[in-house]
């Protein structure tokens, strides 16, 4: 992490805990907004005006929080409006690194940084905190606008319509309460729940987290069992994006590495089908890179000191979608 703008070598990702061993997540520090006209954001945040070519998104493909901003960028047709850099998925001694891991985008095009923490110190030479992805960067002012993925999703949802033309809202007003309730349930029980299980430092903290993970999955399985395509009906909303990024990592990483092993997603009838359906959508499937996910998670030294990346599990049920076959055909073969 950075302390007063200097990289500190005691690199222990995600290890902050409370007195009972419960994982505690750091809060994000850059919280400005982008709006169509530069007027303040929804809660009065300082905002810049939407423009083509001015903003840049730093991500990697391992991170679920970064993945949700990439999906939103694609769903909202922002690929030619907001550029991106993909960092390597494997943690280095200095955190996230620019490089040539297959699928990463190589050297930094913006400030010539070698590691993500340099982006943070260009923005704030005395920054203290973790140098996390995603980062929304302002090329003109050479500063970070926002490093909280929940905000970046909303910025992409509402900030650029004058440039891209209208696209379906990810928070339609008629469904807002439902979406916010789902988002909360998903964050506590699932998105952050798997991390609480994986980084628990006591049995009680782990037991509590794993119970929350599987009761959330049970609730969502029940919700989808009435045959709806997405969480709130026929259209994709923000909650689907939030749910997907953890679902698609679950069998590949969380089940094993984070000890969330009561059941795999592919064993759930409705959740398995829902995951396939989302994966089939280019905004989801094309921003998902299982090789980066496995390489990244299994490089977390605190959880996997040998660094060995397991061969399995067989995720053929997702690949089958890519080749247009039905999952059952491929598992029967």
- Residues involved in catalysis: 63, 195
Cβ proximity to ligand GSH: between 130 and 266 the closer is 130
- For residues 330 and 14, what is the distance between their CA atoms, to the nearest angstrom? 37
Give min distance, CB of 76 to ligand GSH, in A.
Answer: 17
Tokens of 41: 């954001």
Using CB under 6 A, which of 32, 35, 121, 132 touches ligand GSH?
A: 132
Size of the site for ligand GSH (CB under 6 A): 15
One residue of 148, 238, 240, 256 binding ligand GSH per CB under 6 A: 148
Give the ranges where 51-136 is alpha helix by DSSP (H): 64-75, 116-123
Contact 130, 29 (CB under 8 A): no
Smallest distance, ligand GSH to C-beta of residue 270, A: 27
Q: What is d(CA 328, CA 13) in angstroms, rounded to the nearest whole number?
A: 38
Q: Does 13 bind ligand GSH (CB under 6 A)?
A: yes
CB-wise, 133 or 241, nearer to ligand GSH? 133
Residue 209 CA to residue 205 CA, distance in Å, equals 6
Q: Say how far apart CA 134 and CA 145 lie, in whole Å.
A: 11
| 191 lies in the site for ligand GSH, by CB under 6 A | no
**Contact string 20-39 vs ligand GSH (x = CB under 6 A):** --------x-----------
d(CA 228, CA 39): 38
* Residue tagged 């998903």 (tokens): 186
- According to CB under 6 A, which one of 32, 35, 105, 149 is a site residue for ligand GSH? 149
User: By C-beta, is 152 or 321 nearer to ligand GSH?
Assistant: 152
Question: What residues form DSSP beta bridges with 2?
Answer: 7, 129
Which residues of the shown chain bind ligand GSH in the complex (CB under 6 A)?
Answer: 1, 13-14, 28, 63, 65, 95, 130-134, 147-149
């Amino acid at each position: 992490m950075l302390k007063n703008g200097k990289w500190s070598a005691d690199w222990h990702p995600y290890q902050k805990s409370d007195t009972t061993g419960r994982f505690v997540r750091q809060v994000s520090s850059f919280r400005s907004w982008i709006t169509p006209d530069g007027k303040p954001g929804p809660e009065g945040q300082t905002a810049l005006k939407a423009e083509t070519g001015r903003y840049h998104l730093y991500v990697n493909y391992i991170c679920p929080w970064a993945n949700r901003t990439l999906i939103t960028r694609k769903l909202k047709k922002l690929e030619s409006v907001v550029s991106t850099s993909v960092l390597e998925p494997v943690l280095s001694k200095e955190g996230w690194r620019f490089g040539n891991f297959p699928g990463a985008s190589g050297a930094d095009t913006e400030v010539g940084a070698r590691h993500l923490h340099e982006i943070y110190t260009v923005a704030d030479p005395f920054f203290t905190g973790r140098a996390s992805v995603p980062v929304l960067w302002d090329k003109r002012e050479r500063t970070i606008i926002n490093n909280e993925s929940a905000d970046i999703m909303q910025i992409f949802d509402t900030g650029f319509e004058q440039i891209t033309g209208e696209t379906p809202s990810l928070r339609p007003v008629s469904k807002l309460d439902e979406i916010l309730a789902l988002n909360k349930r998903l964050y506590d029980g699932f998105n952050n729940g798997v991390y609480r299980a994986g980084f628990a430092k006591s049995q009680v903290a782990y037991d509590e987290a794993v119970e929350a993970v599987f009761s959330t999955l049970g609730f969502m399985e029940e919700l989808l069992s009435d045959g709806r395509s997405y969480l709130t009906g026929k259209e994709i909303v923000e909650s689907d994006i939030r749910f997907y990024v953890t679902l698609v990592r679950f069998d590949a990483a969380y089940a094993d590495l984070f000890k969330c092993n009561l059941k795999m997603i592919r064993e759930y009838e409705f959740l398995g089908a829902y995951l396939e359906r989302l994966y089939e959508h280019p905004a989801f499937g094309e921003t998902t890179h299982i090789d980066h996910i496995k390489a990244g998670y299994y490089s977390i030294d605190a959880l996997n000191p040998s660094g060995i990346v397991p061969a399995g599990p067989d995720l053929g049920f997702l690949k089958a979608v890519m080749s247009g076959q039905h999952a059952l055909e491929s598992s029967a073969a």
